[in-house]
Amino acid sequence: MRLALELAVGGQGRVEPNPMVGCVLVKDGACIARGYHHVFGGPHAEIDALQSLRSPDQAAGATAYVTLEPCCHHGKTPPCSEALIRAGVARVVVAMRDPFPKVDGGGIRQLRRAGIEVTPDVLKADAEALLAPYRKRVRTGTPWVIAKWAMTADGRIATVSRQSQWITGPESRLRVHRLRARVDAILAAMGTVEADDPMLNARLIDAEGAAVTPPRVAKRVVFCRRRLPALQSKLIQTADTIETWLFTSPRVDGGRLAALQQRGARVFALDSDDPQAMVRQTLQRLGDEGMTNVMIEGGAELLGSFWNPTSGACLVDEFHVYIGAKLFGGVSAPGPIAGAGLSPIDLATKLTLSRVDRFDDDVRLIYRRVVG
C-alpha cells in the first residue's frame, strides 16, 4: 500500500478534479503490476495496472492494493470495480473509502457481492492526508487553499523600504514555480498587481535550461476591491492566452470593465466589498468551477483576509513557508500576514508540520491547519 501511495503522487497536477490514485497487484508474494491515474480523463489506476500485465490471465487470484475505493459508476471511464471483477482478483485492499456520492461504499459492496474479499482502511490516515484537497472539495464544494510566502529568518517579507527581491535563492523559487504548475488557480490582490506587475504563471525549465510546459496552467485570479488592473499590466496584456479572472466588489469603476473584458479578462461581480466576504464568495465560485487546489500569491493584506480576527477562523488549509538566510530587521518591516490580527492567544490558528526541506541555505516548512 505504501508503494501504491507513492505511485498515486505521480498524478498530482494532472488528474484533478479527479483524485490521485495508485494501484499495485500482488500474486504469490510478488508485485506483478503497478499503475496510477496519470491524467484527467485517462485510465484509472486499477485499469493502468491491469493493462500493464503481460497477459490478462495473470490477474486471476491476485490481490489488488488500491489507495482509494474502486469506482462503481460510469464517468469518463467504465467502473474499476467491474474491471477488477472481470480480471478475477481474489482480494482488494483499500486505503480509504471514496467520499464521492456516486461511489461512497458502492464499489466495496459490489466487490463483496462478487465474492471478492475486501480489506478496508489500510494506511487510511496516509491516504486521507494525500487526498485532503479532493476530500475537502467533495465535502464542502470549495477548493483546498495553499498560502505561500518567503520571509527572512527574522520574519520579514520585505525591508522597511518594501524591497523583497530576493529573500530566497534560485532553488526555492524553482519549487514555488513547481507548485504553481500543479494548482488550478493563483490568487493575488491589486496591491501585488500594482507593485510587482506579475505574470502569476509557472515558468519551468529542464536540466538544459529549456522551457518546460507545466502539467497544469493555473488561472490567474485577482481580487479587485477598489481598483482594477491597468490595460498595460502583464496580466491584461496576456489575458487572451492565460485565463485571467477578476473578482470585483461594487466599489470598482464599472465603466472600465468592458475594456478589460475585450482584452480577454473574465469578470465576476461580487455583492460585497468586505474582504472576508469577497474571499468566501470567490472560493465558493472557484469550487463551482471545479477547482481542487488554489494558492495565494498576493501579499500580507490578502493573506489577512483569509482570517477572522474575532473568531480565529482561518480559510487557509496548507502553508508553504520559505525561510531565507537573511535578516532585515526594522519595526516597520512587514510580516507575512496583515490585518487586525488576533488578540487572545487561544484563538491562534493551530498548525501541524508535515514536511521540512532544505534548499542550499533556505528552509521550506509545509504546515497544515489543524481542524477541530
DSSP 217-239: -PEEEEEESS----TTSHHHHTT
Out of 105, 132, 159, pick the residue that ends a domain: 132
- Side by side, which strands form the sheet with 351-359? 266-269, 244-248, 219-224, 185-189, 293-296, 144-152, 318-324, 362-369, 351-359
Q: What is the pLDDT of residue 341?
A: 85
My answer on whether 78 and 215 are in the same domain is: no
Per-residue DSSP letter, 349: P
Q: What is the pLDDT of residue 302?
A: 95
Q: Who contacts 60 (Cβ-Cβ below 8 Å, separation ≥6)?
A: 87, 88, 89
My answer on whether 181 and 240 are in the same domain is: yes
Full-prediction pTM beyond 0.75? Answer: yes
Confidence of residue 56 (pLDDT cuts 50, 70, 90): confident
Confidence of residue 366 (pLDDT cuts 50, 70, 90): very high
- Percentage of the chain beyond pLDDT 70 is 99
My answer on whether 122 and 189 are in the same domain is: no
Q: What is the CATH number of the domain that holds 95?
A: 3.40.140.10
My answer on whether 113 and 160 are in the same domain is: no
- Residue numbers of the domain that contains 241: 141-369
| Mean pLDDT, residues 6-21 taken together | 96
My answer on whether 147 and 128 are in the same domain is: no
Q: What is the CATH number of the domain that holds 283?
A: 3.40.430.10
Q: Report which secondary-structure segment, H or E, holds 144.
A: strand 144-152
> Active site includes 46?
yes
Out of 132, 163, 188, pick the residue that ends a domain: 132
Q: What is the pLDDT of residue 212?
A: 87
| Mean pLDDT, residues 176-191 taken together | 96
**The C-alpha cell of 236 is what?**
491584461
Q: Report which secondary-structure segment, H or E, holds 294.
A: strand 293-296
Which of the residues 46, 117, 128, 171 is marked catalytic?
46
| Mean pLDDT, residues 204-210 taken together | 83
Binding site listing for NADP(+): 150, 166, 192, 196, 299-305
My answer on whether 122 and 18 are in the same domain is: yes
Binding site listing for substrate: 164, 180, 200, 203, 297
Binding site listing for Zn(2+): 44, 71, 80
Query: For 211-223, what is each residue's pLDDT tens digit?
Result: 888 889 999 999 9
My answer on whether 108 and 218 are in the same domain is: no
Q: What is the pLDDT of residue 340?
A: 84
Q: Are strands 63-66 and 30-36 parallel, antiparallel or unpaired?
A: unpaired
My answer on whether 99 and 152 are in the same domain is: no
Q: What is the pLDDT of residue 235?
A: 97
Q: What is the pLDDT of residue 342?
A: 83
Q: What is the pLDDT of residue 23?
A: 98
Q: Over 90: is that where the pLDDT of 144 sits?
A: yes
Binding site listing: 44, 71, 80, 150, 164, 166, 180, 192, 196, 200, 203, 297, 299-305
- Percentage of the chain beyond pLDDT 90 is 84
My answer on whether 84 and 187 are in the same domain is: no
My answer on whether 148 and 250 are in the same domain is: yes
Confidence of residue 207 (pLDDT cuts 50, 70, 90): confident
Out of 76, 97, 132, pick the residue that ends a domain: 132
Instruction: Tell me the pLDDT of the chain averaged across its residues.
Output: 94
My answer on whether 67 and 112 are in the same domain is: yes
Confidence of residue 165 (pLDDT cuts 50, 70, 90): confident
Domain count along the chain: 2
My answer on whether 107 and 176 are in the same domain is: no
